[in-house]
């Protein structure tokens, strides 16, 4: 027979000796992932076992031998280290934070719930797939450092994403291990009866039950939903089985658990968020559940509830191409979401229109990103270029407004510096820059002290880091070979792979086709000459996974592996099973980080940011963050900002640029050493890169920006509209109905100005507009002049908006005036428009009405 099912369950743990008990406290908070001293205490206990546990401290403590624990308990120096780490944890959790200083008293009135389908906190909690999850993990860590009153909400995947294995032919195969959550730094939330807390989500013909786990990320609780409970049917137990696994039907199930279940989980643990941040569209169903809860709690209708909650929602999109959004066909959407939609009194066709760029286009699929945008007053892309691309994609949703005014802002991504920082470089910075860069990584003054580091000292650390990376790669290769062949790897072959003295380039990412993982193979003979140059050799370390259903990405990996095996065995390495551990090793040890996507398809990219504080340099396409960060003094740009429509020709051009940089700029600078064996030019560029880029591209700056631009204004707007028995919300709805009813009558009757045909710089021009308001009051509208340069097709570019001031009436016309100053030479022009104005309404996000001259 098969193994019997259990009837009764209990937990068994390794009982630590009394003096070692604080290790459980240290293991239970993910602060150790960015606090070097705490992480080091686990490593020194048993380095081999620590690595074997995938850096999971709970599993590690349960595996360590009784004999080893007994010896450690008698080690007074080790006990002192434990006490020091406990003090670090306690001080961190209790000290005053930036948020408390910047917004005194707001903590008790504000809670931000941050929803994401994946979180990359540590390789020991494998519920992430790639950049989105790692960014979400870094977001929580920075929110903890800054003291933001934030909680995370996600799913707890029983088998995570997948572990990558390559067969002998280089083809990716997926392995899905099952994880034991009781052997992780997680707590199962229980109710007053000490039973697991359960929440329910209605599906078409059944109810799915989920339990809730909590991980502590510094000060931030992360709540994770798990459907693998016996109350559910076997198929439903597997909803939270794999990340991004299954078909369209599985996706909608997971996204209902995340959005609807996530909101119910927060309510069940007593959290009432004032702001909900949807990090990508996967969580967009939360808006319907949040409206439902608000309607019940406040006894109001759908429109009133929605008017309030849109002010309290934030949406961040990471997707630069239309094909990247989650879309659902109407019949599937109606089947699964029908009950939820009905519960808020919304017709299905009205709901579907909330997820279409063109609400009236019944042939358009339902887009989760549009649903999120439609129910959030604060929307952003993750770099300046990505925000521009997003505005272009979604401009048809706001047909009356210029593309630049589509309500999508930019908050460029960053990295959590201490998570990705190597110990050697951190110690060097402590010595010459003080410790403030740790506490406040966006403080530019701290990073400017990098210039005080002697070139020899910085170069020595860079050399040590590269050596450690080579040792890591060889050890990892040995493990992979032994797993594949079941035989011990040949030490002679392993020791010939890579050279710790050679210029080392890192390339690691998800192998989507637009990221062009095989661009370096465009001219293989030229690449081999670059790799094996007799005086200036180069070596490349590659890692990354392809989506299980992306055969195009798998073929790129196979192509690379075949080239390596046939022609570049000692100069290029492909590391299997890319994860956060591999990522840390690479960004802490490479000399150059390579990134070559097709512009503008990289929304932001954060891997290149991670090499910066570790002394690595970037060589990248001018896309995502590098489009903002690049100048020739801090790194290299592949190609320029031009985009050729012929992708094959663009690839050829970019490959030629890459080869040129490697041959003629990067390797000559690295190997040019005329004094004490130190490449002075290289070290100076490293210093300039750290000073310019490290304080800018950090999640400390990023989360502050979210807080100042979105979280606090959103919380205030939500609280205002929800106060005083919803009187403000109802007043806004009445105003909105009145404006929409009258808007078709609004027109600009006459515009006059004092401009001459030719005007000297600095001259002030007066503009007067006569506007028929169709029964509206002048306070209901904002009349504006858009002033800018006139292009060849009479379009106005580089517009500046100048508001008009109401000065009186002329019969039934409102008279308004504005003054503009001639600040720019050339052919200038303006046009006048009217838009609604209300301090409680976001225009054009909520109300996209406009009348043009």
Mean local confidence (pLDDT), 517-545: 95
pLDDT in tens, 329-349: 999 999 999 999 999 999 999
Residues 6+ apart with CB under 8 A from 234: none
Per-residue pLDDT tens digits for 550-583:
999 999 999 999 999 998 888 999 999 999 999 9
pLDDT in tens, 447-481: 999 999 999 999 999 999 999 999 999 999 988 88
What is the token pair recorded at 621? Answer: 């396409």
- Window from 283-297, 530-544, 781-795 with minimum mean pLDDT: 781-795
Measured in whole angstroms, the distance separating CA 255 from the mean position of its chain's CA atoms is 18
Tell me what pLDDT residue 419 has: 97
Contact between 411 and 705 (Cβ < 8 Å): yes
Q: What is the mean pLDDT of residues 618-637?
A: 97
- What pLDDT does 12 receive? 59
In terms of Cβ atoms closer than 10 Å to its own Cβ (0-12, 13-18, 19+), residue 645 is exposed
Least Cα distance to 779 among 820, 748, 750, 739 occurs for 739
C-alpha dist (Å) from residue 179 to 59, 61, 126, 159: 11, 17, 9, 6
pLDDT band of 222, cuts 50, 70, 90: very high
Nearest alpha-carbon partner for 88 in 275, 218, 222: 218
* SS3 (DSSP) at 182: helix
Q: Tell whether the model's pLDDT for residue 197 goes beyond 90.
A: yes
Lowest mean pLDDT among 393-402, 605-614, 684-693: 393-402
Q: What is the mean pLDDT of residues 259-269?
A: 98
Instruction: Evaluate whether 248 touches 225 at the Cβ level (below 8 Å).
Output: no
Q: What pLDDT shows up at residue 742?
A: 96
Torsion angle in degrees (nearest 10) through CA of 593, 55, 130, 286: -140
Residue 228 has pLDDT above 60, yes or no: yes
383-422 pLDDT, tens digit each? 999 999 999 999 999 998 999 999 999 999 999 999 999 9
Does 7 have pLDDT greater than 60?
no
Residue 8 has pLDDT above 70, yes or no: no
**Using 50, 70 and 90 to split pLDDT, how confident is the model at 360?**
confident
Q: Determine contact, residues 16/24, Cβ cutoff 8 Å.
A: yes
Q: Which stretches of 269-411 are DSSP H helices?
A: 286-298, 302-309, 330-343, 348-353, 368-374, 384-394
CB atoms within 10 A of CB 272: 11
Which tokens belong to 540?
Answer: 């490349």
DSSP 772-837: E-TT--GGGEEEEEEEEEE-TTS-EEEEEEEE-EEEEEETTEEEEEEEEE--S-SSEEEEEEEEE-
Mean pLDDT across the chain: 94
Cα–Cα nearest to 476, from 507, 500, 497, 503:
497
pLDDT band (50, 70, 90) for residue 322:
confident
pLDDT tens-digit series, residues 715-747: 999 999 999 999 999 999 999 999 999 999 999
DSSP character for 709?
I
pTM of structure: 0.95
pLDDT for the residue 739: 97
Task: Give the DSSP H or E segment for 275.
Answer: strand 275-279
Whether the predicted pLDDT of 3 surpasses 70 = no
């Amino acid at each position: 027979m098969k193994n019997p099912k259990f009837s009764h369950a209990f937990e068994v743990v390794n009982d630590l000796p009394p003096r070692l008990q604080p290790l459980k406290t240290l293991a239970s908070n993910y602060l150790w992932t960015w606090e070097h001293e705490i992480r080091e205490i686990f490593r020194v206990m048993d380095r081999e076992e620590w690595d074997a546990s995938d850096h999971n401290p709970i599993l590690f403590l349960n595996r360590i031998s009784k004999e080893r624990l007994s010896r450690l308990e008698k080690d007074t120096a080790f006990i002192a280290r434990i006490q020091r780490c406990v003090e670090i944890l306690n001080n961190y959790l209790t000290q005053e934070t930036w948020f408390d200083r910047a917004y005194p008293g707001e903590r008790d009135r504000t809670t931000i719930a941050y929803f994401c389908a994946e979180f990359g906190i540590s390789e020991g909690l494998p519920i992430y797939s790639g950049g989105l999850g790692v960014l979400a993990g870094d977001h929580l860590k920075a929110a903890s450092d800054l003291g933001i009153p934030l909680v995370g909400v996600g799913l707890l995947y029983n088998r995570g994403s997948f572990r990558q294995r390559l067969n002998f032919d280089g083809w990716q195969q997926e392995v899905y291990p099952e994880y034991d959550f009781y052997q992780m730094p997680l707590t199962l939330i229980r109710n007053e009866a000490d039973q697991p807390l359960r929440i329910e989500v209605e599906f078409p013909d059944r109810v799915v039950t989920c339990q809730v786990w909590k991980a502590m990320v510094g000060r931030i609780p992360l709540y994770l939903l798990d459907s693998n409970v016996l109350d559910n049917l076997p198929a439903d137990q597997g909803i939270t089985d794999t990340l991004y696994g299954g078909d369209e039907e599985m996706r909608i199930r997971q996204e209902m658990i995340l959005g609807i279940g996530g909101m119910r989980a927060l309510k069940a643990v007593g959290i009432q968020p004032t702001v909900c941040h949807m990090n990508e569209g996967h969580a967009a169903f939360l808006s319907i559940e949040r409206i439902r809860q608000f309607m019940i709690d406040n006894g109001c209708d759908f429109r009133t509830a929605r008017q309030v909650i849109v002010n309290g929602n934030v949406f961040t999109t990471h997707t630069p191409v239309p094909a990247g959004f989650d879309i659902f066909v109407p019949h599937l959407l109606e089947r699964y979401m029908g009950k939820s939609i009905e519960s808020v009194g919304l017709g299905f066709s009205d709901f579907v229109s909330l997820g279409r760029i063109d609400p009236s286009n019944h042939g358009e699929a339902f887009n989760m990103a549009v649903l999120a945008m439609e129910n959030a007053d604060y929307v952003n892309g993750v770099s300046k270029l990505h925000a521009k691309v997003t505005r272009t994609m979604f401009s048809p949703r706001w047909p009356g407004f210029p593309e630049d005014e589509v309500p999508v802002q930019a908050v460029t991504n960053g990295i959590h510096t201490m998570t990705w920082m190597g110990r050697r470089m951190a110690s060097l910075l402590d010595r010459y820059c003080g410790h403030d860069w740790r506490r406040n990584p966006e403080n530019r003054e701290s990073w400017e002290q990098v210039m005080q580091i002697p070139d020899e000292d910085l170069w020595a650390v860079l050399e040590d880091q590269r050596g450690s990376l080579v040792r890591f790669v060889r050890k990892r290769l040995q493990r992979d070979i032994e797993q594949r062949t079941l035989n011990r790897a040949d030490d002679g072959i392993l020791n010939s792979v890579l050279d710790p003295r050679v210029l080392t380039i890192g390339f690691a990412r998800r192998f989507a086709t637009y990221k062009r993982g095989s661009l370096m193979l465009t001219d293989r003979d030229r690449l081999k000459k670059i790799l094996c140059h007799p005086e200036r050799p180069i070596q490349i370390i590659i890692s990354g996974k392809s989506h299980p259903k992306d055969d195009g990405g798998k073929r790129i990996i196979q192509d690379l592996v075949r080239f390596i095996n046939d022609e570049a065995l000692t100069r290029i390495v492909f590391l299997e099973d890319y994860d956060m551990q591999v990522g840390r090793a690479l960004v802490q040890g490479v000399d150059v980080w390579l990134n070559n996507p097709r512009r503008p398809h990289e929304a932001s990219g954060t891997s290149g940011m991670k090499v910066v504080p570790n002394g690595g340099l970037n060589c990248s396409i001018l896309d995502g963050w590098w489009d903002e960060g690049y100048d020739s003094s801090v790194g290299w740009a592949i190609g320029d900002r031009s985009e050729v429509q012929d992708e094959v020709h663009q690839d050829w051009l970019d490959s030629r640029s890459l080869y040129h940089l490697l041959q003629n700029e990067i390797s000559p600078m690295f190997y040019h050493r005329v004094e004490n064996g130190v490449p002075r030019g290289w070290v100076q560029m490293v210093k300039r890169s750290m000073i310019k880029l490290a304080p800018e591209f950090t999640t400390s700056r990023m989360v502050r920006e979210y807080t100042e631009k979105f979280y606090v204004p959103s919380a205030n707007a939500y609280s205002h509209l929800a106060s005083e028995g919803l009187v403000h919300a109802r007043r806004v709805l009445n105003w909105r109905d009145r404006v929409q009813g009258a808007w078709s009558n609004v027109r600009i009757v006459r515009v006059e100005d004092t401009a001459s045909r030719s005007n000297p710089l600095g001259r002030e021009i007066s503009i007067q507009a006569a506007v028929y308001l169709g029964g509206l009051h002048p306070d209901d509208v904002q009349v504006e002049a858009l002033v800018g340069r006139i292009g060849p097709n009479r379009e106005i570019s580089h517009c500046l908006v100048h508001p008009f001031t109401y000065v009186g009436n002329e019969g039934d016309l409102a008279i308004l005036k504005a003054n503009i100053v001639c600040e720019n030479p050339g052919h200038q022009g303006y046009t006048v428009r009217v838009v609604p104005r209300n301090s409680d309404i976001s225009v054009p996000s909520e109300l996209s009405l406009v009348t043009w001259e």
